[in-house]
Amino acid sequence: MTVRPSAGVRRRDTELALIADAAKRIYGSDGREVLLVSGEAGLGKTTLVAEAARSAYDAGACVLFGHCEEDLATPYQLFAEALGHYVAHTEEEQLRELVEAHGSEWMRLVPALASRIPDLPPSKATDSDSERYLLFAAAVGLLGSISQQQPVVLVLDDLQWADNASLLLLRHLVAAEHPVRLLVLGTFRDSELAQSPGLRETLGLLRRHRGFTRLELEASTRTACSPSWRPRPAMH
Ligand SMILES: Nc1ncnc2c1ncn2[C@@H]1O[C@H](COP(=O)(O)OP(=O)(O)OP(=O)(O)O)[C@@H](O)[C@H]1O
Ligand SMILES: [Mg+2]
């Protein structure tokens, strides 16, 4: 049976293939990939990464999803949401193993961890600097441990509204030495970059990462049937 896409649905095969390639690169190795989809509001960025994430999930990846909202940023919001789902849906035994390996500092990201594991060890932080250091180390170690079982796809939607703490943790995660099989699949509205200094700075750093890809959706793709149209993946 041939299933044809509904009228008005723009096929994103080329973009999906590009994302699938990035996902494949993390499956077998400790590869760390960052693929950011940018474009104007309403071009289909979220739809595209959601479809790619669904395929990665079907292929066995652990998909974690965090999103940002305008004027509603709280510190570490992206990671709190992404890891919150993980904590809510993971067996207690596995959570206990993660706490044993990486301490309880990441409870700062996911307060619900305390209700899943009531006898959590106390934080080892002595001041705010050590708290952040331990939190970042725990988050990296945690994703590394999860990725030993399944490669991790971390979807971060609407990064133009991300809080600075989340962006700092993202930068740390991408730069850290710790082995992790991770694809960060982010979206942002490039028209709002001028108002997002934190994201601009983060992009400048992420671009230096070997596994960085930027996929720009263009406004012309909004209208259907441009046979000469090709997506413009910008590799950095
Ligand atoms: N490939 C597609 N073909 C047709 N319609 C699409 C396609 N992708 C998304 N849409 C539709 O376009 C609208 C906007 O999609 P989406 O929310 O994914 O855009 P976005 O780029 O993430 O927007 P925003 O910048 O506001 O977050 C939705 O109604 C969605 O159903
Ligand atoms: Mg969106």
Please give the Cα distance from 228 to 217 (Å, whole number): 15
> Which is the closest atom of ligand 1 to the Cα of 41?
25
* Per-residue pLDDT reduced to its tens digit, 79-137: 999 999 999 999 999 999 999 998 888 888 898 888 888 888 877 777 777 888 899 99
| Ligand 2 center–CA 49 separation, angstroms | 9
Whether the per-residue pLDDT at 213 is higher than 90: the answer is yes
Please give the Cα distance from 123 to 134 (Å, whole number): 9
Please give the Cα distance from 137 to 234 (Å, whole number): 31
What is the pLDDT, as a whole number, of residue 220?
59
Q: Whose CA is nearest to atom 12 of ligand 1?
A: 44
Domains and CATH numbers, the chain: 2-221 (3.40.50.300)
Query: Candidates 12, 47, 217: which one to mutate for ligand 1, based on the most atoms within 8 Å of Cβ?
Result: 47
- Reported as a pLDDT band with limits 50, 70 and 90, residue 7 is low
> Which is the closest atom of ligand 1 to the Cα of 40?
25
Of the bound ligands, which one is closest to the alpha carbon of residue 189? 1
What is the pLDDT, as a whole number, of residue 2?
46
| Ligand 1 center–CA 16 separation, angstroms | 15
| Ligand 2 center–CA 87 separation, angstroms | 25
* Per-residue pLDDT reduced to its tens digit, 135-194: 999 999 999 999 999 999 999 999 999 999 999 999 999 999 888 999 999 999 999 999
Lowest mean pLDDT among 19-23, 30-34, 154-158, 163-167: 30-34
Q: Pocket residues for ligand 1 (CB within 6 Å)?
A: 8-10, 12, 39, 41-47, 158, 189
Query: Candidates 15, 46, 215: which one to mutate for ligand 1, based on the most atoms within 8 Å of Cβ?
Result: 46
Please give the Cα distance from 105 to 113 (Å, whole number): 10
What is the pLDDT, as a whole number, of residue 221?
44
DSSP code per residue over 39-62: ESTTSSHHHHHHHHHHHHHHTTPE
**Sheet-wide strand order for 232-235:** 62-67, 152-157, 182-189, 32-39, 212-216, 232-235
Of residues 224 and 156, more confidence is placed in: 156
Whether the per-residue pLDDT at 226 is higher than 50: the answer is no
Question: How high does pLDDT run on average in the chain?
Answer: 87
Please give the Cα distance from 70 to 48 (Å, whole number): 21
What is the pLDDT, as a whole number, of residue 126?
75
Residue 234, strand partner residues: 214
What is the pLDDT, as a whole number, of residue 6?
55
Residue 56, strand partner residues: none
